[in-house]
């Protein structure tokens, strides 16, 4: 056993048992951050804050929500919204956060793509980030089932139908996922379990992995500088703070992060109090009815781009294209063959690739919301083809990129 001495303070007592000073150094005061990064690098902290808001508001909602097909709708729309003091507030915080979190995730992802933050040494940051994206998507979908409104029911029907695999007719798989022939009590109970237990646990584990993956390569920077963190941190500790290219995470960089988080919270609560409607689908204020299909069934805005990749093709091709769109981003560190970790603006054809991909996904999102008729379905088709072609072109254009 280690040698324990009589503690001189509570901190010393804890330090002897938990090495809190060492942990504090590794995670906070000697976790080095480059000086040359902008507010986009605060999006990670904004995501942490949004996840905390989701967790806390979810715990309050859980006190009154009933996972039963006969009472779920009323427990949300009547009990929580009208009877419970401030129940409406927790619901609006939860609903707005569930939507805004995807906006921030997309900004965070595209920042990473723009600056090449997924490249050599940072692959695990990217892969754990993409796993977080997939898990968040499953979390949002399972949560959408819980109010048991018309859109919950029919979106649940459409998305679980995808697992029948088109002409493969794997109906047993769909029934196995639903626990029934159609979405019913077994379906609601298992999506409730996923939403409140299994997926949040997975998200917390993945956030831990994402942070651990950041510790060794450190965060990238906006100029594509190859920073030697050992040399620069020694310079800082020796007193040359101005000459060093790095600063401490805590409290120095964290104070900047908190400034951005503060501005974000003003925007967030403006949405919660004055503009929460965008996060609620009016069709979902009707209780689920298996005999009445809504005129248009569409997912929430953050799934529209991948939904639009499914829609313009025949069933089998559509499913393959959809599957491709779901997984392809994970492969980015391996498909981008250029060794340059610099902003896209300084890279050859990749700079056009970046903007083309961003615009294409915005177009797909817009078309996904519109009914698939006339010019909209043509634009959707072209944008879906462009998405696939852009990914096929990526390894080719980056292989021939000049080394900077």
Interface ranges with ligand HEM (CB under 6 A): 41, 43-45, 47-48, 51, 105, 108-109, 112, 115, 117-118, 122, 125-126, 129-130, 132-133, 207, 210, 214, 219-220
Closer Cβ to ligand HEM, 45 or 328, answer by number: 45
Instruction: State the Cα torsion 248-249-255-257 to the nearest 10°.
Output: 140
Cβ 397 vs Cβ 349: under 8 Å: yes
Q: Which is nearer to ligand HEM, 104 or 370 (CB)?
A: 104
Contact 129, 111 (CB under 8 A): no
CB-wise, 80 or 101, nearer to ligand HEM?
A: 101
Q: How near is the Cβ of 218 to ligand HEM at its closest, in Å?
A: 7
Examine residue 251 and say whether the peptide bond preceding it is cis (omega within 30 degrees of 0): yes
Considering the complex, state which of residue 126 and residue 148 has its C-beta at the smaller distance from ligand HEM: 126
Shortest separation between residue 61's beta carbon and ligand HEM, angstroms: 20
Structure tokens at 203: 């998200």
CA distance 163 to 167: 11
C-beta of residue 105 within 8 angstroms of C-beta of residue 276: no
Helical pair 199-215 and 43-62, crossing angle rounded to 10 deg: 160
Minimum CB distance to ligand HEM smaller for 132 or for 188? 132
List the beta bridge partners of residue 247.
33
From the CB of 267, what's the least distance to ligand HEM, in Å?
A: 17
CB of 393 to ligand HEM, least distance (A): 20
Nearer to ligand HEM, 118 or 387 (CB): 118
Q: Which residues contact 197 (CB under 8 A, 6 or more apart)?
A: none
338 backbone dihedrals φ, ψ, rounded to 5°: -80, 140
- Contacting residues for 267 by C-beta, under 8 A, at least 6 apart: none
Rounded to a whole number of angstroms, the minimum distance from the CB of residue 210 to ligand HEM is 5
Long-range pairs, 110-115, Cβ under 8 A, ≥24: 110/358, 111/40, 111/41, 111/43, 113/332, 113/344, 113/354, 113/357, 114/343, 114/344, 114/354, 115/220, 115/221, 115/222, 115/224, 115/341, 115/342, 115/343, 115/344
Q: Report the nearest approach of ligand HEM to the CB of residue 132 (Å).
A: 4
Closest residue to ligand HEM in the complex (CB): 44
Which residue lies nearer to ligand HEM by CB, 117 or 244?
Answer: 117
Least Å distance between CB 214 and ligand HEM? 6
CB-nearer residue toward ligand HEM: 27 or 238: 27
Q: Residue 248's beta-bridge partner residues?
A: 32
User: Which CB sits closer to ligand HEM, 18 or 197?
Assistant: 197
Shortest Cβ distance from residue 37 to ligand HEM (Å)?
7
Q: Smallest distance, Å, CB 251 to ligand HEM?
A: 16
Long-range contacts of 66-72 (CB under 8 A, 24+ apart): 67/146, 67/188, 67/189, 67/192, 68/185, 68/188, 69/148, 69/184, 69/185, 69/188, 69/288, 72/146, 72/147, 72/148, 72/188
């Amino acid at each position: 056993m280690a040698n324990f001495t009589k503690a001189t303070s509570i901190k010393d007592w804890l330090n002897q048992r938990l090495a809190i000073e060492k942990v504090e150094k590794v995670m906070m005061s000697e976790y080095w951050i480059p000086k040359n990064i902008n507010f986009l690098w605060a999006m990670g902290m904004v995501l942490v804050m949004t996840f905390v808001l989701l967790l806390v508001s979810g715990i309050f909602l859980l006190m009154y929500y009933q996972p039963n097909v006969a009472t779920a709708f009323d427990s949300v729309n009547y009990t929580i919204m009208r009877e419970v003091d401030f129940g409406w507030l927790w619901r609006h915080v939860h609903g707005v956060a569930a939507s805004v979190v995807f906006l921030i995730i997309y900004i965070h992802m595209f920042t990473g793509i723009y600056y090449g933050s997924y490249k050599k040494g940072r692959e695990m940051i990217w892969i754990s980030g993409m796993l977080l994206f997939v898990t968040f998507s499953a979390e949002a979908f399972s949560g959408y089932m819980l109010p048991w409104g018309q859109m919950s029911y029919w979106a649940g029907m459409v998305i679980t139908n995808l697992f029948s695999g088109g002409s493969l007719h794997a109906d047993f798989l769909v029934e196995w996922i639903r626990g029934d022939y159609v979405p019913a009590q077994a379906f609601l109970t298992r999506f409730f379990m996923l939403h409140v237990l299994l997926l949040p646990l997975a998200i917390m584990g993945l956030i831990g992995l994402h942070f651990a993956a950041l510790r060794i390569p450190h965060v990238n920077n906006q100029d594509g500088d190859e920073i030697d963190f050992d040399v620069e941190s020694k310079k800082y500790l020796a007193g040359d703070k101005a000459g060093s290219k790095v600063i401490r995470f805590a409290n120095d960089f964290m104070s900047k992060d908190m400034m951005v988080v503060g501005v974000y919270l003003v925007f967030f609560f403006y949405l919660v109090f004055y503009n929460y409607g965008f996060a609620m689908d009016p069709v979902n204020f009707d209780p689920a009815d298996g005999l009445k299909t809504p005129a248009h069934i569409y997912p929430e805005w953050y799934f529209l781009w991948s939904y639009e990749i499914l829609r313009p093709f025949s069933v089998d091709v559509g499913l393959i294209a959809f599957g491709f769109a779901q997984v392809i981003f994970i492969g980015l560190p391996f498909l981008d063959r250029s060794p340059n970790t610099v902003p896209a603006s300084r890279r050859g054809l990749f700079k056009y690739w970046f903007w083309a991909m961003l615009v294409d996904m915005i177009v797909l999102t817009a078309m996904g919301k519109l009914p698939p008729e006339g010019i909209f379905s043509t634009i959707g088709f072209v944008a879906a083809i462009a998405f696939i072609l852009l990914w096929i072109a990526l390894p080719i254009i980056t292989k021939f990129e000049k080394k900077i």
